Amino acid sequence: MLSFECDYNEGAHEAVLRRLIETNNEQLPGYGSDKYCDLAKEKIKEACGKADAEVFLLVGGTQTNQIVIDTVLAPYEGVVCANTGHINVHEAGAIEYSGHKVLSLPHEQGKLKADVLKKYLEIFHSDDTKAHMVYPGMVYISHPTEYGTLYSLDELTALSEVCKEYDIPLYLDGARLGYGLMSSGTDVTLKDIARLCDVFYIGGTKVGALCGEAVVFTHNNAPKGFFTSIKQHGALLAKGRVLGVQFDTLFTDDLYFNISRHAIKMADKMREVFKRKNYKFFIETVTNQIFIVLENKKMEELKKYVSFSFWEILDSDHTVVRFASSWATRESDIDKLEELL
């Protein structure tokens, strides 16, 4: 059985596992105060080109979104995002659980466009009754988006400018950041993100780690008491080393970028296969996620040999499905896929 179901089907990259084993018997202090966490943080700051960044290591994506958004927002503020945003759809209300409204705006291919944001902010601030409404206190975007699309540097810059104009922090969810940065279709670098966003996270879970996300506050702007807030949200790992060792490894010798590049290469190859076989793309993507329109009959047939994700019903005869590559995808599996199609 072939699987292109998602990018978290395997464990960790072997180099990551190896370091966990090598360091396993060292006696290290808890709660992220060990040397591997320090090393990881320094290397991430270096990669971001931001000496004044503050880095924190957390376990999972929804957890990270909840803690970052809850601690950056004032209690009476909400977070603005595209209505397709992960926080708006697939996090079981984790943001609302923390007391904040998700203020959703129309998306364009999964992206929040600067002009849509600007218009919303203009209308909000000219509304006489705004004191009775939820204040927009942060802008959330994901890159790559839930649709596998990417912001161009121009788009990201424009968003950043609107945020600065309205003095609202810009937060980028990088659950699949590596796959965005290594795409052949991007002009955005990690340093650009660190420069244009106020806070973002570098996803580890989907890019080579067992678990772990690295939050980067880009200019000494971590909320006061952030460590205690992590504990308060139930997110502090006693053995912080588990995250430290993993991110230290991922950010040594460009491992994070190299394995991401592999995933993109595999995705590009898969895209070629689908094109050659005349499959219809639901949306154009340049990252590790590919959305294909399948006839339902064909879909049922294919399911017997290969696993992929249901995305949405297109019409009574067609379904949109998702194929994903990852750092662990084998080229031979794509050859097998081609044979099947």
Interface of this chain with its own copies, residues 73 to 92, rule: CB under 8 A: 74-78, 89-92
Least gap, CB of 127 to its own copies (angstroms): 9
Number of residues that bind its own copies (CB under 8 A): 78
In the three-class reduction of DSSP (H, G, I as helix; E, B as strand; rest coil), residue 291 is classed as strand
Least gap, CB of 190 to its own copies (angstroms): 22
Residue 93 lies near its own copies (rule: CB under 8 A) = yes
Interface of this chain with its own copies, residues 311 to 340, rule: CB under 8 A: 328
Contact segment (CB under 8 A) with its own copies among 138-146, 182-190, 221-229, 293-301 equals 221-229
In the three-class reduction of DSSP (H, G, I as helix; E, B as strand; rest coil), residue 192 is classed as helix
Interface of this chain with its own copies, residues 119 to 138, rule: CB under 8 A: 128-129, 131-135
Going by their DSSP bridges, the two strands 135-142 and 77-82 should be labelled as: parallel
Residue 24 lies near its own copies (rule: CB under 8 A) = yes
Comparing C-alpha atoms, which of 28, 82, 41 is closest to residue 215?
41
Q: Which residues pair with 3 in a beta bridge?
A: 307
- Residue 310: in which H helix or E strand, if any? strand 309-313
Q: Considering beta carbons, is residue 61 or 148 the nearer one to its own copies?
A: 61
Interface residue with its own copies, options 46, 99, 106, 154 (CB under 8 A): 99
Burial readout 58-91 (b: 16 or more C-beta within 10 A, e: otherwise): bbbbbbbbbbbbbbbbeeebbbbbbebbbbbeeb
Q: Considering beta carbons, is residue 302 or 328 the nearer one to its own copies?
A: 328
Interface of this chain with its own copies, residues 26 to 55, rule: CB under 8 A: 26-31
Least gap, CB of 152 to its own copies (angstroms): 28
Sequence-distant (6+) residues with CB within 8 A of 140 are 65, 69, 79, 80, 81, 85, 87, 171, 173
Least gap, CB of 303 to its own copies (angstroms): 13
Interface of this chain with its own copies, residues 228 to 267, rule: CB under 8 A: 228-229, 231-239, 241-242
- 181 with 189: CB under 8 angstroms? yes
Cα separation, 320 vs 325, in Å, equals 17
Least gap, CB of 6 to its own copies (angstroms): 6
